[in-house]
Structure 1
């Protein structure tokens, strides 16, 4: 007999770290609400990946979520190609395509859960097809589309589609075809959930509400989804990069990371190394290749830097070749600037921590995100314009941008704007804040 007091929420993420990360944070946030039972449905390896890279929450919090391992056949896991004509991670396309294979087991899971609860709420990543759910026509269920990118990028995509222009400059042809297939899936969504807030993107949220699939549907802007403030992680062993940051003054270190889906060429790595050294500023540089489909077999890179570089910068700079807890790094008092690819997770984490960004977009939503931070919010600076994306950024430009953010009046103004925006974004999640109110309305609707 269905539980008349509870609503069960099933989260279905897309199997790439940035997507897993956002929806795991959202799952944990929902699990703190009474009357909700939260389920997280992905493949076994990606459930494990999401748990392994948990940030900002104690490990014990994972026990509040029911994880479901959806079966997936073995798929190719080729290495990334730093010399590809596309900066986009084309090596992950077999993984992306394989998400079609989870439809049947997902449908079975949803049917089973719907029989045990008064209401079933399905929240699926916008890149996951839910046609199996629609076909089942579960009477006590409703679905919501989770949009991981910024509202600014979603508006840009809608505009490009209206103009008949494609996304050829932002992604690979294979991924564009994948997106087009997803857009053709007829999903009767009850609304859209976005990891953003009105304090950052009010204009774009309002524009989006009048566009395409969003027209006439409620949009719930509930970000940032990453925890603010950070939860106590005393039961997690501290990463060595945080111990290294402990030894440096407040706001003195430039954090350099291009995320889990980007790989730079050897030539670019050499120019970046030279520019960081010439700037004279402290830095923590995560130099790793993009994730493969199987992150557990291929976690780091043996990428070589100019001979003697790491010894020459010892004490001032640190190079890390594996994954690091980025949220902890950005929240550390020693971090004063962030050189980033501008994936939306990185943007939201940097802004919520009040850290200015040196924006270096590479593909997908990143150019739109970079413009939002640098030109819209004034909390960052573009390392290079998107029109010069195929050029190697010279050491001189790297040095110039680092000095611009970390020194002088222009840098002081940028850092102050970042601090103010961080306070506003964190307030959005508190009582009376725009994101807290949006989530309250959404949960109340589920419990009706």
Structure 2
């Protein structure tokens, strides 16, 4: 590694939610492995989460800035957005994020790093960095496919040309013919007055990105080449693909995110007793939280399918004595040995990477989707909100490495309703038969390409090198 990289210093400001924080901290570890000094800026209550993830990295520092809870009427100690945070608090979190600009500028002035990487939703970051002549990189926590879809729909508004929420339209100016309905769009792209505020926010996000030094994307070129090219060459965005970052530092898989709700050894011991590709992993990310009736449908579908499974359930994780009325009577006894329920946080990458896991029921958040790809695991797609419906289209129609649970509409972070029969059918489709074998073969091929991308000379390795060299050259000419 070029010795001049040791002179580079990069600031990282992750958004205060698991899906944003985990990959950005891993990017900080990745650049630190190339001899670059990295500093993660976060709030006091989030320091333990960051610290346990970077425990072995000596070239990463942590600086804190106060989270303005009182200024936006958030409860004291509410510095992180997850499934237990009431949805009505989201606008307050967004307001609090905007108030981080002043203390962050004080740090930029004091330390004057060579680059400032900030989450896409910190729209003020480009202006803040420009005050100190510091290049700002945008971290976009989703796929090139979703980024292209979001921008094309924002620019051309095809959803306004259909007469109902269920009528399909084609995404304009897109590499593949992808059909959507209005109800499959993130709330930001719908036409209701409710979404006007969010639509304006995403316009600001797009403008901030366009004025920035460039965009970091947690993906690899071989996964979505047409969309990486479209984003850069057609939409004109400067971007570097550097993923999958979940493959970096494999020895610390269990330390990602919260403390696990199950002992690592217990989980591995259970998986070790299973045959290769025989277990389905069922998990819906850090925000999705289902009601009792939907949890019951999932339980019934898992039982009826007869497949072995690990099911991550958030319901009741804060109250261990809570009566679990969603659980069918006698369910755990009937699935004993065949199924494992994890109540709370699971070591997801550790589980997906185990040879016994052959299927993944996922909400299609990009972190989970890419982790499934990197592990070579076939997917059942169950998107619920945000850009997850776009990622589902990439998985099922472009890459053909998963199957959809059927017609769904975007109901927000609580997810969408699915019957036990639909789940049972999809589980058997992804685990048994010729189609299952074809899908598994395709996703395992992508997993190998993901590993190659991160090796010296690989596409992601080379893109990160190019970025570091460009930042070093920029720093010299200041």
Please give the range of the TM-score, normalised by the shorter of the 2 chains.
Answer: 0.7 to 0.9
Q: Conserved in 1, the CA contact under 8 Å of 2:359 and 2:430?
A: yes
Corresponding residue number in structure 1 for 2:186: 170
Q: Conserved in 2, the CA contact under 8 Å of 1:143 and 1:188?
A: no
Corresponding residue number in structure 2 for 1:23: 24
3-state SS, counterpart of residue 226 of structure 1: helix
The match for 1:250 among 276, 287, 308 is 276
3-state SS, counterpart of residue 400 of structure 1: helix
Q: Structure 1 unaligned segments of length 5 or more: list them.
A: 292-296
Measure the CA separation in 1 of the matches of 2:303 and 2:82: 29
Measure the CA separation in 2 of the matches of 1:427 and 1:445: 23
Corresponding residue number in structure 1 for 2:49: 49
Corresponding residue number in structure 1 for 2:138: 145
Q: Conserved in 2, the CA contact under 8 Å of 1:300 and 1:323?
A: no
The match for 1:231 among 251, 271, 275 is 251
Deviations 1:242-279 (A, max 9, x none): 33222222211100000001112221111111110011
1:10 lines up with 2:35 in the alignment: no
Measure the CA separation in 1 of the matches of 2:367 and 2:401: 16
1:199 lines up with 2:222 in the alignment: yes
Measure the CA separation in 2 of the matches of 1:300 and 1:261: 22
Using the TM superposition, name which of 380-389 and 363-372 deviates more: 380-389
Corresponding residue number in structure 2 for 1:321: 343
Using the TM superposition, name which of 100-109 and 69-78 deviates more: 69-78
The match for 2:55 among 39, 54, 60 is 60
Measure the CA separation in 1 of the matches of 2:212 and 2:389: 28
The match for 1:127 among 121, 127, 131 is 121
Measure the CA separation in 2 of the matches of 1:143 and 1:289: 39
Change beyond 3 A, Cα 1:328–1:210: same
Corresponding residue number in structure 1 for 2:150: 157
Measure the CA separation in 2 of the matches of 1:48 and 1:264: 28
Deviations 1:69-120 (A, max 9, x none): 11013324599699x9xxxx55544323311121111111111111xxxx61
Change beyond 3 A, Cα 1:302–1:259: farther
Measure the CA separation in 2 of the matches of 1:133 and 1:429: 32
Corresponding residue number in structure 2 for 1:208: 231
Corresponding residue number in structure 2 for 1:294: none
Q: CA RMSD in A?
A: 3.1
1:280 lines up with 2:273 in the alignment: no
Q: Conserved in 1, the CA contact under 8 Å of 2:247 and 2:374?
A: no
Q: TM-score, normalised by structure 1?
A: 0.85
Deviations 1:103-140 (A, max 9, x none): 111111111111xxxx611111111133585376214x
Measure the CA separation in 2 of the matches of 1:376 and 1:309: 37
Measure the CA separation in 2 of the matches of 1:379 and 1:155: 20
Deviation, 1:159, is 1.2
Deviations 1:407-432 (A, max 9, x none): 11111111111111110111111122
Measure the CA separation in 2 of the matches of 1:67 and 1:301: 37
Deviations 1:182-214 (A, max 9, x none): 4465873111111111111111111112455xx
1:438 lines up with 2:463 in the alignment: yes
Change beyond 3 A, Cα 1:145–1:355: same
Using the TM superposition, name which of 93-102 and 237-246 deviates more: 237-246
Corresponding residue number in structure 1 for 2:167: none
Q: Conserved in 2, the CA contact under 8 Å of 1:80 and 1:290?
A: no
How many residue pairs match? The answer is 422
Q: Conserved in 2, the CA contact under 8 Å of 1:8 and 1:121?
A: yes
Deviation, 1:16, is 1.0
Q: TM-score, normalised by structure 2?
A: 0.80
Q: Conserved in 1, the CA contact under 8 Å of 2:254 and 2:347?
A: no
Change beyond 3 A, Cα 1:290–1:353: farther
Corresponding residue number in structure 2 for 1:104: 102
Change beyond 3 A, Cα 1:16–1:388: closer
Change beyond 3 A, Cα 1:245–1:148: same
Deviation, 1:48, is 2.7
Measure the CA separation in 2 of the matches of 1:262 and 1:312: 27
Change beyond 3 A, Cα 1:4–1:233: closer
Change beyond 3 A, Cα 1:239–1:27: farther
Deviation, 1:318, is 1.3
Change beyond 3 A, Cα 1:245–1:220: same
Kindly report which structure 2 residues correspond to 1:64-79, keeping only aligned pairs within 5 A, or say none: 64-74=59-69, 75-76=74-75
Q: Conserved in 2, the CA contact under 8 Å of 1:79 and 1:91?
A: no
1:37 lines up with 2:60 in the alignment: no
